[in-house]
Structure 1
Amino acid sequence: MSDYQETLYEGYGQRFAVDRMLYEGRTEHQHLAIFENARMGRVMALDGVVQTAEADEFIYHEMLAHVPILAHGLARRVLIIGGGDGGMLREVAKHRDVESITMAGIDGKLVEMCREFLPEHSRGAFEDARLNLLIDDGLRFVLSVEEKFDVIIVDSTDPVGPGAALFSQEFYQACRRCLNDGGILVAQNGTPFLQLNEVQATAKRMSGLFPDWHFYQAAVPTYIGGAMAFAWGACDSESRKLSLGTLCQRFAGSGIVTRYYNPHVHLAAFALPQYVLQAIGKPSND
């Protein structure tokens, strides 16, 4: 039995026992490894950084999908940038009122290998008739697309390698242009305790673009360093201030069964620790 040592942070990290290596090799864009671990199930890593694990992926995918879609209330067209493992697609596809799901990811080989070796992530969602799957650079796609969306979900890697462009000012501006009135953008933004500069950089980029911008959190064990931050940009500032009753009504109406998300968690997730609020220059009562 070998070990997989994550390389995201110098001097600090996590190690997985590799019970069985299912796939290891280079795609056109990055090094991909998918292996089995007794505690975390099947694990996928890119360029030495763990991206997802079967045991806890539901937390990340439910929070990045259901928070914006239920906050919007009338989302019909959803765009996923990245999301090659299929978990985000699975959660978005649970919303019956969503009429079209566009998914743009740069790495076709990654999608192919995840469909083969991480079938529990997508659970058949790649066969959904509403899906338009595009193997395309996410930045290039949002710069050129004429279509507009109600919700944009950025399920990217960290801002290194192929994922770096998805944290740029140009990318956020292009996403803002692609949103319909009342649209919402959410994006993976790292763990603030270890990647506070990422959160600060995103705050600067979002602040001039959206009437309401903020972050929300969820603790995903696979992403070490504490709670993970998700960037939030809304064209309608009321989207973040919904009542518990409204969210409960929408959630019940959706008929979706979750393992992590619920309306109480939805509202509580936007409460940020003081050090994060100070770093992004926001008062604690925002």
Structure 2
Amino acid sequence: MVGPGRTLLLKLRGPWLFDGEEHFPSLGGMSARIQIGDFEELGRGLVIDGTVQLTEAVDALYTTALVFPAALSARSRRRWLVVGGGDGATAREALRFRDTGSVRLVDISRTVVERTQELIPSFWSGCQHDPRLEIIHHDAGEVLRDMADRGDQVDVILYDLCDPGSEECNPFFDSAADHMYTEEAFRLAARCLSPGGVFAAQLAELSILRCEDHRRYRRALKRVFRHVHSYRTFVEPFGCVESFIVASNDEGDWNPSRGDSASQRLPALYVGDFREVWSAPWHEQLFALPPSLVSRLN
């Protein structure tokens, strides 16, 4: 279910390559159904609780949309915390910035990490062997609280989690990520950021049809962060316009939508040919929302 009146059908090329269930005792016994299969047009993909998380065909689009606005607007990219992201793609992109010193990936699911490394290696591109990457299988909420209590800070925090549970769109209703989309969790994340640090998250659909969930999380984030910017892009295997939020407590004039200056800095910052995944016009159009939608968000 994409919405109350919309259903997305994706065609598999054969049986599931992996179809299993994982239980999480630390989350009160909650479980998740994890599937990997080959889709027509979209390539091999990961599905959690009936919702497509990522496929080979849109990996670069989705992952770049999540990572680049935060990376290019942060004062530093030395230390990263990826919350979720067990498919490896977000960590892969973080490690491609030359000044990255460490990436801490916290995903409670061992199954997602192990099966994607085995069955969708392009998501990881070998980054699991990078000594700068640390993978932690634990409840991300507890990790954030422990970091905040110890004063352990990073420069960029990325939420690459399953969408929160929704009776309208998710047949499983509850999500293992629900507790990470609360104001309390956002405040913990803010405490874990260094001065000038940046927080970014993928959220729910942001369209004229459905923007209520995004607006609710945006309001919570605006009570925590000085600067909060919404943006979006259409992702075919999601069947909707996927939304993101990037936020910071930077005390200066902070505007992550500017792409012109970033295009001049990227060759020195990014390993590889960024022209295949990023351009200044594409970056800026991510933040160009229809006036009626901006009015509803505000």
Match of 2:172 in 1: none
Match of 2:57 in 1: 55
**Residue identity matched to 2:6:** Y
Cα distance in 1, alignment partners of residues 220 and 53 from structure 2: 24
Match of 1:153 in 2: 158
Match of 1:4 in 2: none
Cα distance in 1, alignment partners of residues 256 and 183 from structure 2: 26
Cα distance in 2, alignment partners of residues 83 and 32 from structure 1: 14
Cα distance in 1, alignment partners of residues 258 and 235 from structure 2: 26
Cα distance in 2, alignment partners of residues 224 and 37 from structure 1: 14
Farther off after superposition, 271-280 or 144-153: 271-280
Per-residue CA deviations over 1:188-212 (Å, capped at 9, x if unaligned) read: 0122125412111111111121111
Q: Which runs of 4+ in 1 moved over 3 A?
A: 7-11, 241-245
In the TM superposition, 1:137-148 aligns within 5 A as 137-145=139-147, 146=150, 147-148=152-153
- Aligned CA distance change for structure 1 residues 157 and 242 (closer, same or farther; 3 Å): closer
Match of 2:19 in 1: 24
**Residue identity matched to 1:54:** E
Q: TM-score, normalised by structure 2?
A: 0.87
Contact 2:75 2:196 in 1 (8 A): no
Per-residue CA deviations over 1:16-70 (Å, capped at 9, x if unaligned) read: 2221221001112300111112311102111111111111121110111121111
Aligned length: 274
- Aligned CA distance change for structure 1 residues 269 and 11 (closer, same or farther; 3 Å): closer
Contact 1:93 1:125 in 2 (8 A): yes
Cα distance in 2, alignment partners of residues 200 and 128 from structure 1: 37
Match of 2:170 in 1: none
Farther off after superposition, 254-263 or 115-124: 254-263
CA-based RMSD: 1.7
Contact 1:191 1:223 in 2 (8 A): no
- Aligned CA distance change for structure 1 residues 241 and 56 (closer, same or farther; 3 Å): closer
Per-residue CA deviations over 1:222-244 (Å, capped at 9, x if unaligned) read: 1212x321011112253325754
Match of 2:169 in 1: none
Per-residue CA deviations over 1:119-139 (Å, capped at 9, x if unaligned) read: 111110111110111001111
Match of 1:178 in 2: 192
Contact 2:204 2:243 in 1 (8 A): yes
Percent sequence identity over matched residues? 24
Q: TM-score, normalised by structure 1?
A: 0.90
Alpha-carbon deviation of 1:73?
4.4
Cα distance in 2, alignment partners of residues 203 and 128 from structure 1: 34
Farther off after superposition, 98-107 or 240-249: 240-249
Q: Unpaired runs of 5+ in structure 2?
A: 24-30, 166-174
Contact 1:8 1:49 in 2 (8 A): no
User: Equivalent residue of 1:218, what SS?
Assistant: strand
User: Equivalent residue of 1:209, what SS?
Assistant: coil
Cα distance in 2, alignment partners of residues 83 and 34 from structure 1: 15
- Aligned CA distance change for structure 1 residues 44 and 210 (closer, same or farther; 3 Å): same
User: Equivalent residue of 2:164, what SS?
Assistant: coil
Asked whether 1:108 is paired with 2:110, we answer yes
Alpha-carbon deviation of 1:8?
4.9
Asked whether 1:163 is paired with 2:177, we answer yes
Asked whether 1:218 is paired with 2:212, we answer no
Alpha-carbon deviation of 1:10?
4.0
